[in-house]
């Protein structure tokens, strides 16, 4: 069977990673969550006081980039790869609302994007990969055989993210999660470098009305047409 590249882009909390994990498992492909990479750089920048909610020391962050090592290590028990920052597992630390509040500022920095895009292209050079993010079908793999663009209402997405954070024991309110989702939508779609846009050849899925299984079946058919 032909190996392909699957690019999944879309707004935050549209279920990109759920779909990507299902596909990767079913096809025996590698799954790469590029949001985790932007989050890990952000966590590093927060630890070094390069970024906070209302401040970014861009120059120091750019200078520090060569010292930031990002690796994915597959966790057999969980069934997906976890994010390691300079040798430490930061999978939990990068999923907080605090990191979500700073990540868009960091993701706007072209030097950060260049470093992460190069690493993502390297991970996908042999195909058989499912990658999710904001610029996968437009910048990272413009020639991907299958491009999906996911969307749903900000309210549906905030509810999803809120439930995830509460399940993890974090103290957040629905309103602050909704505000963060809307703010990130705005910054992600308006930044100068690689803004979030649907690639011309991407297939749009609005999953406000589709359940997980229906969505998976629909995308699997698209994969089968291409392999
Ligand atoms: O998918 P996520 O919510 O974990 O991503 C976190 C942030 O990282 C998101 O607000 C925008 C940024 N991002 C990006 O700019 N490009 C990507 N390919 C992936 C994420």
Residue 226 lies in a domain: no
Q: What's the rounded Cα separation, in Å, for the pair 129 and 39?
A: 21
Q: pLDDT tens string for the chain (227 positions)?
A: 899 999 999 999 999 999 999 999 999 999 999 999 999 999 999 999 999 999 999 999 999 999 999 999 999 999 899 999 999 999 999 999 999 999 999 999 999 999 999 999 999 999 999 999 999 999 999 999 999 999 999 999 999 999 999 999 999 999 999 999 999 999 999 999 999 999 999 999 998 888 889 999 999 999 999 99
Q: Which residues contact 72 (CB under 8 A, 6 or more apart)?
A: 32, 36, 81, 82, 83, 84
Helix-, strand-, coil-residue percentages of the chain, each rounded to 5: 50, 20, 30
CATH number of the domain bearing residue 76: 3.40.50.300
Q: Report the separation in Å between the CA atom of 211 and the middle of ligand 1, taken as the mean of its atom positions.
A: 23
Q: Which domain holds residue 133?
A: 5-218
Task: Provide the whole-model pTM.
Answer: 0.96
Q: Which of ligand 1's atoms lies nearest the C-alpha of 135?
A: 18
Residue 191 lies in a domain: yes
| 108 three-state secondary structure | coil
Establish how many alpha carbons lie within 13 A of residue 197's alpha carbon, considering only the half-sphere containing its beta carbon.
12
**How many domains does the chain fold into?**
1
Bridge partners (DSSP) of residue 84 are: 71, 89
Residue 225 lies in a domain: no
Q: Report the separation in Å between the CA atom of 1 and the middle of ligand 1, taken as the mean of its atom positions.
A: 31
């Amino acid at each position: 069977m032909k190996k392909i590249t699957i690019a999944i882009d879309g707004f935050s909390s549209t279920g990109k990673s759920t779909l990507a994990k299902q596909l990767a498992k079913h096809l025996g492909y590698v799954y790469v969550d590029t949001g985790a990479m932007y989050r890990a750089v952000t966590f590093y920048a927060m630890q070094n006081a390069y970024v906070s909610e209302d401040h970014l020391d861009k120059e120091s962050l750019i200078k520090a980039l060569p010292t930031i090592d990002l690796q994915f290590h597959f966790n057999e028990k969980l069934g997906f790869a976890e994010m390691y920052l300079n040798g430490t597992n930061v999978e939990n630390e990068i999923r907080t609302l605090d990191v979500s509040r700073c990540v868009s500022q960091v993701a706007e920095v072209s030097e950060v994007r260049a470093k992460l895009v190069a690493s993502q292209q390297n991970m996908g050079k042999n195909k058989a990969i499912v990658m999710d993010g904001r610029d996968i079908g437009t910048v990272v793999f413009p020639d991907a055989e299958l491009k999906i663009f996911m969307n749903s209402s900000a309210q549906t997405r905030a509810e999803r993210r809120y439930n995830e954070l509460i399940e993890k024991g974090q103290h957040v309110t629905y309103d602050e999660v909704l505000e963060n989702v809307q703010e990130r939508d705005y910054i992600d779609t308006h930044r100068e470098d690689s803004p979030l846009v649907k690639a011309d050849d991407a297939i749009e899925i609005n999953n406000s009305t589709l359940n997980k299984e229906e969505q998976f079946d629909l995308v699997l058919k698209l994969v089968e047409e291409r392999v």
